[in-house]
Amino acid sequence: MPEWSFADRELMSRALELAARGLYTTEPNPRVGCVLVHGEQVVGEGWHVQAGEGHAEVNALAQAGERARGATAYVTLEPCSHFGKTPPCADALIKAGVSRVVAAMQDPNPQVAGNGLQRLRDAGIEVTCGLLEEQARELNPGFIKRMQQGLPWVRVKLAMSLDGRTAMASGESKWITGPAARADVQRLRARSGAVISGADSVLLDDSALTVRASELGLSADEAAAAVQRQPLRVLIDSLRRVPLEQRFFREAGPTLVISTSAEQAAESYQSIGSELLALPGDDGKVDLVTVLRNLAERGCNEVLVEAGAGLSGAFWRAGLVDELIVYMAPRLLGSQARPLMQLPFESMSEAMDIAVTDMRAIGQDWRITARPIFPS
C-alpha cells in the first residue's frame, strides 16, 4: 500500500468535493473531480459536468495550461483510456506532461480496469491508486454497480410515522413528513436516472414524480442545472390501470410504463409521448429484475423507488434493494394505518437484518439510511 502524505489526502478530498458538483448532472457518466498541483500550488481544478462535455482531467488541464507540465494530478477515478464521446483522458495527461498521477480508484468496468493507469506508467508517469477509495466509491455507487453487474443502484424511499405506518387505511399519505424532508426527496430524485412507482401510489397520491427547481432547496444555479435532466419516470402498472389523463403523464419529462402485456396499447402511450413495455414474469406480474436490467441498458446508474408497501416490499423480497431511506415523522397514524412494507414474515427466523449507515434530523423529521445485510 502506498504511503500518502497529509497534503495528498487534502488534495484528493478537494477532488472529491469537485466531483460532487456533478451529483445531479453527469448521468450516465460517473461523477469525477481532478486537482492539478505544481509544487505546493494548485494550478488547475475541474470536474465532469455532463455527458458529452469535457471530463474532469481535461477541464483541469485547460485551467492549468502550461503549468500542468511537471504537475501532480489528483483524480477521483482512473483516467479513461478509450475513445467515447471525448478522447482518452490518459492521453491528455501524458500530452500535458504531468509527472505524477494519484487516483482514488480504478475504473469499475472489469474490461478496462487498470488500462488507463498502465498507459500512464508506460509513458513514464509515477502512478498510485487507492487514496480515499471508499469515499470515491460512495460518490458513484450506481456507476460502479452498473459496470460490474449490469444493474443500477436501487434506493427505496419510504416515509413513516413514529408508529411505523406509511398511509391511512384508505391509502391517503399526503403529507406524512414536513417540507424539509420533501425537499430532501426532491434531491434524491434529481440524482437518480430513474424514479419507479406503482399504479396504486400514482392513483392514490396523483404523483408526478418530477424534479421541481423551487422545491430542491439548492442555489438557483444548482437547481437550474438539476432540472435540465429530468429522471425517467417509470410506472409499474401490470394491468394498465392508470388512465392516460393522469397527472403522471401530463407533466414534462420522459415516462415509461411497464406492464405484463402491451398488445394493441403501445400506440396509445406513444401518442402522449410515453413508452409502453411488456416485461412479464413467471408469476404473472412484472419481472423486476428485467426492469432493472433494462434501465441499466438505458444508462441509469441510480434508481429511486417511491412506491407503496406492496411494490417496495416486492423489491426487498427479491433482494434488489441496495439502500433503504426512511423518513420518520413525529406523528402517530394508528393501528388501522398501512405498514411500511409488505413482508409477510411469520417467525423471527425470517427477519431481515439491516445496517444503519446514517441517521440525521431533516427539519422536523428524521432520515434513516440503511443497507441490507445479506447472509454470508
Which residue among 3, 10, 27, 57 is the active-site one? Answer: 57
What span, in angstroms and rounded, lies between the C-alpha atoms of 120 and 250? 50
Active site residue 323: no
Residue from 57, 53, 51 nearest 32 by CA: 57
| Residue 36, beta-bridge partner list | 44, 73
Largest CA distance in the chain: 69
Residue from 123, 117, 134 nearest 95 by CA: 123
324 contacts 372 by C-beta, under 8 angstroms: yes
275 contacts 249 by C-beta, under 8 angstroms: no
C-beta atoms surrounding 84 within 10 Å:
11
Active site residues: 57
